[in-house]
Amino acid sequence: MEQIDVQKKMAGKKAVDYIKDGMTIGLGSGSTVYWMMKRLGELVKEGLDIKGIPSSLRTEGWAKQFGVPLTDFSNTQQLDLAIDGADEVDPQFNLIKGGGGSLVREKIVNTASKKLIIIIDESKLVDQLGAFSLPVEVVQFGYEATALQISKLGCEPVLRMNGKEPFVSNNGNFILDCPFRVINHPEQLNDDIKSVVGVVETGLFLGMTDLVIVGKDACVEVLENS
Ligand SMILES: O=C[C@H](O)[C@H](O)[C@H](O)COP(=O)(O)O
């Protein structure tokens, strides 16, 4: 296993320490979340009584594979805890997410949760957001016009592809990857992008993270948002 995967596994496995009996859990997306799901499945087999709401079809598949019981928003609108990955985390615990294209469902799930824990490998910690191209989910119709409007905010959006076809999110939308390179004012940028017609959601997750678990080579570091 590569070192980065070892770090993801360390972070994912540590996160389940925060899950308590009776909780409803937001289940994030991505390769780090995979390890959390695997460990959570083991704990459920040992008797842990929880329910989860998955933030992607892929995570839903893992839940079924590992035996993690699921529920949905028709049964509960507030979750106790959400555990999710990230593509970048800055010192203020602001995030870029959506590298896997699940940002809309993730933002709905994480916003509905009382607490958000982010699990990452070391490479995700950055001084400033923006080196990772910001994913923005947009409706398919007229996406070229939507991209033009976003470009006026300081980047050249790239339509995400899946082979020769555009990538389509679990919500049936396209993703524009927006290379801003340096994001100095994330709140303002988020507002500006969201005001563009055709934009569904941005991958900026601001002021929502309570705890970051960073997987390192032989340990984990837990960073608390004070
Ligand atoms: O859409 C994908 C999500 O935001 C992921 O949580 C994020 O891309 C991090 O994924 P990974 O743990 O695979 O690096």
What is the rounded CA–CA span in Å between residue 110 and residue 117? Answer: 9
Say which of 42, 60, 88, 106 is annotated catalytic: 106
What is the rounded CA–CA span in Å between residue 98 and residue 137? Answer: 9
Is the pLDDT reported for residue 217 higher than 90?
no
Question: How far, in Å, from the CA of 35 to the mean position of ligand 1?
Answer: 12
Tell me 47's DSSP state: T
97 within ligand 1 shell (Cβ under 6 A): yes
Tell which atom from ligand 1 comes closest to the C-alpha of 103. Answer: 1
87 within ligand 1 shell (Cβ under 6 A): yes
The pLDDT value given to residue 219: 93
Radius of gyration of the chain (CA): 17
The pLDDT value given to residue 226: 80
Residue 199 buriedness (CB in 10 A; 0-12 / 13-18 / 19+):
buried
84 within ligand 1 shell (Cβ under 6 A): yes
| pLDDT tens digits for range 82-138 | 999 999 999 999 999 999 999 999 999 999 999 999 999 999 999 999 999 999 999
* Structural domains of the chain ordered from first start: 3-126+206-224 (3.40.50.1360), 134-202 (3.30.70.260)
106 within ligand 1 shell (Cβ under 6 A): yes
- Among protein residues, the one with the nearest Cα to ligand 1's atom 7 is 86
Tell which atom from ligand 1 comes closest to the C-alpha of 119. Answer: 12
CA-based torsion, 107, 37, 85, 98: positive or negative: negative
| pLDDT tens digits for range 27-74 | 999 999 999 999 999 999 999 999 999 999 999 999 999 999 999 999
What is the rounded CA–CA span in Å between residue 145 and residue 222? Answer: 42
The pLDDT value given to residue 14: 98
Question: How far, in Å, from the CA of 37 to the mean position of ligand 1?
Answer: 14
pTM equals: 0.97
